[in-house]
C-alpha cells in the first residue's frame, strides 16, 4: 500500500486545501429579473404602471417596501403588493378584439368616457392592449395578459405591418399620395413611408387601403390632413399576422396556443394551455354594429389587398368555414355580442 510521500526533511506533506469558490467577475449582470418585469409577467400591471406602484410604496420584497424599480428579484424572493402575495405568473395568452367607435383605449379616462375595459366580457382575465386605437377609430385591437408580449409587439424594431381601411372625403388621384409613400415631416415629427392604394371612389368619398409599420398618435389622420383630405372612417383590419377576420364590433376571440407560440417565437415550455371560450360582456351590448364599409367588406377580404393572409387563429392555406357552419372552437371561438350562455 502506498503512503503519502514525505517532504525532503522527513516531514509529512501539507494537507490539500479546499478550493475557494470562484468570485463573480466585476460588472457581471445580477441574477433574476427586474422587479417591474416580474410584476408585468404576472399580469399585475404594465412595466410603467408597475414602476408607479413601486414609487407609491405599494410593493414589498421579502417584507420590506421598495421605492425604486432598480432591483432584480428571483424565484426565492417573496413579493407582495398592498400586503397581498404576488399571484403566480399566468401562461401568456392573446385575444383579438373588435374595438367599436366611441370607446377609449385606456384603463381609465379623466373625462369619464367609456373605456374598452368597461365593455370587455366579465370572464376575461386582466389584460393589456397592444398599442391603441383612438376614440373615433375601430377595428382590430390585440389584447394580452403578458407584459413581455405587449412590449415585444410594440417595439419599433419589430416593424410589423398594420393595415387599415380608410375612407376620406374628396376625389383623390393616385399621385396625390406620393408624399405619404416617401415619408412626411409634420410639425417637426417624422412619419415613416406608408403603403397607400386607392381602392374605389364612392360618391363624395374614396376608400383606401393604408399600411404602416409604426404607431404614432393619429398618424393616418394627420398625414391625410397634411395632403388636403379628411378621414371620416378608419378601420384597422390587421396587425402583423393577426387579422380582424369576421369579428363584429365588441366581439372578442382568443387565439389558439400554437398560433401565438409560432408567431411570437415562444419556447415550447411557454406554450399556452388550451384556450377557453371568450364571450361578450353579459347584460351589456358590446357596441353598436357599424356595418360594412361601402365598396369593401369588413374583415378577411378587406385585410387582403396584397394577397391571401388567412383567417386569425388559423394556419395559412386552410380554407375558411362555409357560411352557416359552426366557427372553429379550438381557438376559444366567438360569441354574439351581449350574450352569455351561463346566464
Contact 134/235 with Cβ under 8 angstroms?
no
Please tell me the distance from the alpha carbon of residue 98 to that of residue 138, in angstroms, as a whole number: 7
Please tell me the distance from the alpha carbon of residue 162 to that of residue 213, in angstroms, as a whole number: 6
Please tell me the distance from the alpha carbon of residue 229 to that of residue 209, in angstroms, as a whole number: 15
Backbone CA torsion sign across 29, 30, 34, 38 = positive
Q: Which helix (H) or strand (E) holds 143?
A: strand 138-144
Catalytic annotation present for 67: no
Nearest by Cα to 259 from 247, 246, 272: 272
Please tell me the distance from the alpha carbon of residue 157 to that of residue 213, in angstroms, as a whole number: 10
Catalytic residue among 33, 134, 199, 328: 134
- The DSSP annotation for 224-290 comes to HHHTT-EEEEEEEEEETTEE-TT--TT-EEEPPHHHHHHHHT--GGGPPPPPPP--PPTTS------
Q: Which grid coordinates belong to 330?
A: 379550438
Nearest by Cα to 219 from 100, 130, 134: 134
- Residues known to be catalytic: 134
Amino acid at each position: 500500500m502506498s503512503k503519502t510521500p514525505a517532504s525532503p526533511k522527513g516531514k509529512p506533506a501539507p494537507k490539500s486545501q479546499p478550493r475557494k469558490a470562484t468570485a463573480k467577475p466585476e460588472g457581471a449582470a445580477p441574477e433574476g429579473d427586474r422587479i417591474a418585469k416580474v410584476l408585468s409577467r404576472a399580469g399585475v400591471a404594465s412595466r410603467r404602471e408597475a414602476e408607479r406602484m413601486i414609487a407609491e410604496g405599494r410593493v414589498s420584497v421579502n417584507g420590506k417596501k421598495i421605492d425604486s424599480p432598480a432591483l432584480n428579484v428571483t424565484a426565492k424572493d417573496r413579493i407582495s403588493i398592498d400586503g397581498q402575495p404576488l399571484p403566480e405568473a399566468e401562461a401568456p395568452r392573446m385575444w383579438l378584439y373588435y374595438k367599436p367607435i366611441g370607446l377609449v383605449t385606456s384603463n381609465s379616462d379623466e373625462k369619464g368616457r367609456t373605456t374598452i375595459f368597461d365593455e370587455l366580457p366579465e370572464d376575461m382575465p386582466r389584460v393589456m392592449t397592444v398599442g391603441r386605437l383612438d376614440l373615433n377609430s375601430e377595428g382590430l385591437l390585440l389584447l394580452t395578459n403578458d407584459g413581455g408580449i405587449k412590449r415585444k409587439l410594440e417595439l419599433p424594431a419589430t416593424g410589423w405591418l398594420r393595415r387599415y381601411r380608410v375612407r376620406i372625403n374628396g376625389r383623390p388621384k393616385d399621385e396625390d399620395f406620393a408624399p405619404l409613400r416617401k415619408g412626411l415631416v409634420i410639425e417637426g415629427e417624422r412619419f415613416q413611408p406608408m403603403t397607400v392604394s386607392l381602392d374605389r371612389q364612392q360618391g363624395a368619398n374614396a376608400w383606401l387601403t393604408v399600411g404602416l409599420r409604426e404607431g404614432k398618435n393619429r398618424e393616418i389622420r394627420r398625414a391625410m390632413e397634411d395632403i388636403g383630405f379628411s378621414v371620416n372612417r378608419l378601420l384597422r383590419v390587421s396587425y402583423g399576422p393577426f387579422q380582424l377576420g369576421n369579428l363584429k364590433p365588441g366581439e372578442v376571440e382568443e387565439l389558439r396556443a400554437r398560433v401565438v407560440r409560432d408567431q411570437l417565437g415562444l419556447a415550447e415550455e411557454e406554450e399556452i394551455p388550451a384556450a377557453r371560450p371568450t364571450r361578450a360582456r353579459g347584460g351589456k351590448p358590446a357596441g353598436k354594429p357599424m356595418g360594412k364599409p361601402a365598396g369593401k367588406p369588413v374583415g378577411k377580404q378587406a385585410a387582403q389587398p396584397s394577397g391571401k393572409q388567412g383567417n386569425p387563429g388559423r394556419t395559412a392555406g386552410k380554407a375558411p368555414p362555409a357560411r352557416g357552419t359552426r366557427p372553429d372552437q379550438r381557438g376559444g371561438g366567438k360569441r354574439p355580442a351581449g350574450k352569455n350562455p351561463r346566464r
